[in-house]
Structure 1
Amino acid sequence: MAGNTRERILEVSLELFAQSGYLGTSMSDIAKQLGITKGALYKHYRSKQEILDRIVERMNEMDYARAAEYEMPETEPDGFAEAYLHTPVGKIRAYSEAQFDHWTKEPFAANFRRMLTLEQYREPKLAQLYQDYLAGGPLQYMAAIFRRLADSDEAAMQLALEFYGPMFLLYSVYDGAAQKETVTDLLRQHIDRFIARIEAEKSLTAEKTS
């Protein structure tokens, strides 16, 4: 029961952080939303920072579980670049779509994204989390993957921008869309076109070196 209560506190806290911001939410607000006293809340978490730390830990756990589910590489850049190139295209497509669903449809992750979007200009630590999870981090990950397909680091980063940029934009488009499935369709079309292009370039390179 205590474990369930701790998880419920995380979920409610993150909902409030996504609505009012981390800085704009107090422990009193969290306790009120949960229908408990502040004293009862402090028995589970000593501070708002501790709640945030556990939220980040849970996000990391979800990331690792998702990568394992889709058998995606989690090694150092050179290692996962090599592994990624030998991953079936269908698996890459499925994982990319799962990433999008994670950040838009999964309530915990979607609220985490909204919180970071709200707070990135007000709190340096949350700004860094925004970069790690939604901006620079994913971009660097993709650039490392594409490095084996590019002539230079700059070219790899360009590929990463071309792939991840539309996905990043579609997060916000999804939030405001009345017909959300149309946004998912746009994402699938983008992924399919990009993968087709990469596959064509890989085939051309193989022909030139054979």
Structure 2
Amino acid sequence: MAGDTKERILETALELFAQNGYLGTSMNDIAQQLGFTKAALYKHYTSKQEILDRIVEHMNEMDYERAESYEMPETEPDGFAEAYLNTPIQKIRAYSMAQFDHWTKEPFSSNFRKMLTLEQYRDPKLAQLHHDYLAGGPLEYMAAIFRKLTDTDEAAMQLALEFYGPMYLLYSVYDGAQDKDSVAPLLDAHIERFIAKVESCYRKDRETI
């Protein structure tokens, strides 16, 4: 029961953070939303920072479990590029679409994204989290993968931008769309075209060796 209560606190706090911002939400706000006294809330979490830290830990746990469930290659840049391209295209597409669903449809992750979007210009620590989870982090990760397939760091970064840029944009498109089901096919078509392009270029490079 204690574990269930702690999880409910995290979910409720994150809903408030997504609506009002992390900085705009107090421990008293969280307690009131839960129907707790502040004293009862403090028995489970001693501060708002502790709640945020546990939210980030939970996000990391979800990321690991999702990658493992889709049987994606190990995410080490030195060996990932070739393994990624040797993974069946349907698996790559399915995992990429799962990532998009994770950030848009899954309530916990979606609220985390919205919180970071709200706070990225107001708090340096939350700005860093936005960078790590949604902006520079994914971009740098993809560039590290594509460095195995390109001649220069600049070319690798261009590929990363080409792949991730539309995905990042579609998060906002999804949030504002009246017909949210119309967004996923756009992403699916983008991923399919991109993977086909990269596979073609990779095979040509291998043939010239």
- C-alpha change, 1:206 and 1:82, in structure 2 (3 Å) is closer
Q: Deviations over 1:55-90 (max 9, x none)?
A: 000000000001101122344321323432332222
Matched to 2:27, the amino acid is M
CA distance in 1 between partners of 2:74 and 2:151 (Å): 24
SS in 1 for 2:137: helix
Q: Deviations over 1:6-52 (max 9, x none)?
A: 00000000000000000000000000000111111000000000000
* Structure 2 counterpart of 1:29: 29
Q: How many corresponding residue pairs?
A: 209
SS in 2 for 1:159: helix
SS in 2 for 1:148: coil
Q: Percent identity?
A: 77
CA distance in 2 between partners of 1:207 and 1:76 (Å): 25
TM-fit CA distance, 1:191: 0.5
Q: Contact 2:81–2:149 at 8 Å: present in 1 too?
A: no
- Segment of structure 1 superposing worse, 63-72 or 74-83: 74-83
Root-mean-square deviation (Å): 1.1
Superposed counterparts of 1:133-152, under 5 Å: 133-152=133-152
CA distance in 2 between partners of 1:75 and 1:196 (Å): 21
TM-fit CA distance, 1:181: 1.2
* Structure 2 counterpart of 1:41: 41
TM-fit CA distance, 1:182: 1.0
Q: Give the TM-score normalised by the residue count of structure 2.
A: 0.97
Structure 1 alignment gaps of length 5 or more: none
Q: Give the TM-score normalised by the residue count of structure 1.
A: 0.96
1:166 lines up with 2:166 in the alignment:
yes
In the TM superposition, structure 1's runs of 4+ consecutive aligned residues that sit over 4 Å from their partners are none
1:53 lines up with 2:53 in the alignment:
yes
CA distance in 1 between partners of 2:9 and 2:47 (Å): 12
* Structure 2 counterpart of 1:190: 190
CA distance in 2 between partners of 1:115 and 1:105 (Å): 15
